[in-house]
């Protein structure tokens, strides 16, 4: 009876942790068992081939996990780079909008000035009209 309680506690123990924590051990166990079964059946019950098949299944599972982790890291890095690029573009366009609105807000006046007839370097200049732009 105590042996049954111990086995049932050990069987229930994985159910107490989250599913994310079980992904790797369960896939290692499943592919290891599949490899062991394939090695056992294909080699006519040779124990060395059974152990080799189990090791091959676990290595295959670990290879899948490594490939998945590598893909996740690349996706994170790519997203980070795109996010930085987008923030720089946003900053650039915000600066462009600020400059554009400043140019729109600038106001000026044009004042017409009459310059009378006068002497300059020994030459008599006729009266002229000039326009002066005054920035406000």
7-46 residue pLDDT tens = 665 565 555 555 666 678 888 888 888 888 888 899 988 9
- Record the tokens describing residue 38, joined without a space: 């394939």
65-91 residue pLDDT tens = 888 888 888 888 888 887 777 888 888
Residue 35: count other Cβ atoms within 10 Å of its Cβ: 22
Q: Helix axis angle, 47-105 relative to 19-42, nearest 10°?
A: 140
Element holding 43 (H helix, E strand): none
Residues 8, 12: Cα–Cα separation, whole Å = 6
Question: Across-strand partners of 115?
Answer: 128
Residues 58, 47: Cα–Cα separation, whole Å = 17
pTM, to two decimals:
0.48
């Amino acid at each position: 009876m105590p042996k049954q309680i111990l086995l049932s506690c050990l069987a229930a123990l994985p159910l107490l942790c989250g599913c994310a924590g079980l992904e790797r051990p369960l896939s290692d166990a499943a592919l290891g068992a599949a490899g062991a079964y394939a090695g056992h059946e294909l080699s006519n019950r040779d124990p060395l081939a059974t152990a080799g098949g189990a090791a091959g299944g676990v290595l295959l599972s670990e290879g899948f996990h490594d490939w998945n982790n590598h893909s996740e890291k690349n996706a994170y890095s790519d997203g980070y780079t795109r996010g930085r690029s987008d923030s720089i573009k946003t900053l650039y366009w915000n600066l462009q909008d600020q400059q554009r609105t400043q140019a729109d807000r600038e106001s000026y006046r044009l004042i017409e000035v009459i310059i009378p007839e006068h002497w300059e370097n020994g030459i008599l200049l006729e009266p002229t009209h000039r326009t002066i732009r005054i920035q406000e």
